[in-house]
Amino acid sequence: MLGHPERHFPSIHVAGTNGKGSTCAFIGAELAARGHKVGIYTSPHLVSVRERIVVDGVPIGEDAFAEWTTFLQPHIERLDASFFEATTAIAFADLAARGAQVGVIEVGLGGRLDATNVITPLVSVVTKIAREHTDYLGTDLASIAREKAGVAKRGVPFVTGERDPAVREVLAEEATRRGARPVILVDSPRPPTRPLGLKGRHQHANAWVALAALNALPAPFGPVGDTWPESFTRTYVAGRFDVRGPWIFDVAH
């Protein structure tokens, strides 16, 4: 019905329990600094659903979102599509319509069965694993890791920042079984050399994972050049240890 808009631009696919949105933001900031027109699809939103779908820092317009929703409504009803499935379709359509040169796509839940997993990305990423959504993903970390490693694709680099050796082994084994090449295991024992735009020590690991993913990209998108680490110092996402006067807002998972 939409003509596979997700195939109109190359993508980076980001899964994981924590750090997905921040990792997407770092990747998107660096790609934009290199001069690419970057589309980013993340979830959930804070105020408006339009925040989920952004091209060059600009959310999808109200009219465009309404038009895509109206166009897709009969298909959504016929297929009994979920809210996330519908917004994913709108995101792919809008990123293609606005001429995104590269997409940074965040998984909604899990990985293997997620609506975003229709793409064959340039790089697949799993940030880190923790217990979540056990009714869908499994009750133990190994099961959850296998579900999230379901974003791995044959011949596509796979990057993970998971530090737990047992969980990291499961991720690497599942990615290898699915044919991912190479499998890149990121260690992040030290902070970056420059302050990050996103505050908190936990962002150090997200930054190193983003950097590894960027370095794994083929031309013309990678590897990292002179624009890093400056792009990471300018990265901002609302609600990530966001200091506003005497208040701190954070979307802790």
Identify the CA nearest to 5 among candidates 113, 119, 86: 119
Neighbouring-strand partners of residue 15: 126
Contact 106, 25 (CB under 8 A): no
pLDDT confidence of residue 190: 82
Q: Could you give the C-alpha distances from 135 to 109, 110, 131, in angstroms and in order?
A: 12, 11, 11
E strand residue ranges, the chain? 11-15, 38-41, 53-55, 58-59, 102-106, 123-126, 158-160, 183-185, 242-244, 247-249
C-beta neighbour count of 164 within 10 angstroms: 14
pLDDT tens string for the chain (253 positions)?
789 999 999 999 999 999 999 999 999 999 999 999 999 999 999 999 999 999 999 999 999 999 999 999 999 999 999 999 999 999 999 999 999 999 999 999 999 999 999 999 999 999 999 999 999 899 999 999 999 999 999 999 999 999 999 999 999 999 999 999 999 999 877 888 889 999 999 999 999 999 999 999 999 998 767 788 899 999 999 988 988 999 998 887 6
Prediction pTM value? 0.96
pLDDT confidence of residue 223: 76
DSSP string, 203-236: HHHHHHHHHHHHHTPPTTT-S--TTTTHHHHT--
Identify the CA nearest to 157 among candidates 79, 90, 211, 218: 218
Q: Give CA–CA dist 142/148, Å, rounded.
A: 10
pLDDT confidence of residue 224: 66
Could you identify the residue written with the tokens 């993508």?
11
210 Cα distance to chain centroid: 10
Domains, the chain, in order of start with CATH, read 5-46+100-249 (3.40.1190.10)
